[in-house]
Amino acid sequence: MSGTPASGQEAVDQLLKVLDLERLGDGVYRGVSPLVGPQRVYGGQVAAQALVAAGREVDPSRHVHSLHGYFVRPGDPLEPIEYQVESIRDGRSFSVRRCVAVQHGRTIFFMSASFQRVERALDHQLPGPVDVPPPDELPTMVERLAEYPERLGFWSLLPRPIDVRYVGESGWVPPGDRPRAPQQNVWMRFDGRLPDDPLIHVCALAYASDLTLLDSVLSFHGESWGPGGVVGASLDHAMWFHRPFRADEWFLYACSSPSAHGARGLATGRFFTADGQHIGSAVQEGLLRRVGG
């Protein structure tokens, strides 16, 4: 694809158009990919669009609290994606939907999502990372990778609706250049105003969740993406949404990897607001192979 990726509010507005699915019929929606992007559809986009489709088939008084999805085939960014939503159950408190993403007559992604009416009960959370510098003291991704233009790769192709600021080194910095910590902390914020609809903010978080999570696997081994390093793909993805939040305000994505084996790496992440509220969690397994291996 050609063109220059948008950034800031323009990129956020483009993302909102991507998330604004066309309704084709009962439980059937169609989504498109950005005009500028990588050779395959970004996994976070597919998960976010699937969640939009599922959420439109649920009473808005019920809010999504979890999703579990599998990436089956790479998506073609030049072709629309059809999302087929099946109603699994509507109980007194919970609704469950299954969504299948289809391209060229084949499933590329499927997901189950559960929605719950608002309830008040037990409430606690474990503390997040401490002594983390605030985002305004950290460089942007463009600034951080300015000395590695050959490694912008994925970042240079994606529209940039998210301001991403690593506390340590990202997986795009060549191995050995700077030390890496097993714990990966990344500040994120959608770089423009989002609508007030809570579903949009949850879908935005799902979009962001796939962006840096597998970096924690590479960080554990001092590896990097791209030439001389590793290529990867998301295999499955699970998320839980714990508390209300706004995705256009800063949140910290604290990630780590408990295991890697057999060309697969497991990564876990927790999302915290700037004032320390634990708003969500993510777990993902990815396929990781050495370049040329």
The question of whether 210 is a catalytic residue gets the answer: yes
Task: Give dist(CA 44, CA 232) in Å, integer.
Answer: 14
CA distances from 259 to 80, 127, 221, 231, 253 (A): 35, 23, 11, 18, 19
Which residues, in sequence order, are bridge partners of residue 99?
85, 111
- The first and second tokens of residue 4, run together, are 């220059």
163 catalytic? Reply is no
**Tokens matching residue 293:** 């291996």
Q: Tell me, yes or no, if 234 is annotated catalytic.
A: yes
Annotated catalytic residue within 163, 191, 210, 248: 210
> What is the side-by-side strand order in the sheet with 81-90?
22-25, 28-31, 81-90, 94-103, 106-117, 62-71, 230-241, 278-290, 264-273, 251-261, 184-190, 162-166
- Report how far Cα 148 is from the mean position of its chain's Cα atoms: 24
Q: Which amino acid is at 279?
A: I
Contact by Cβ (8 Å): 31, 81: yes
Amino acid at the residue 233: A
* Active-site hit among 14, 234, 256, 257: 234
Report residue 103: phi and psi, to 5°: -140, 140
Residues designated as active site:
210, 234, 284
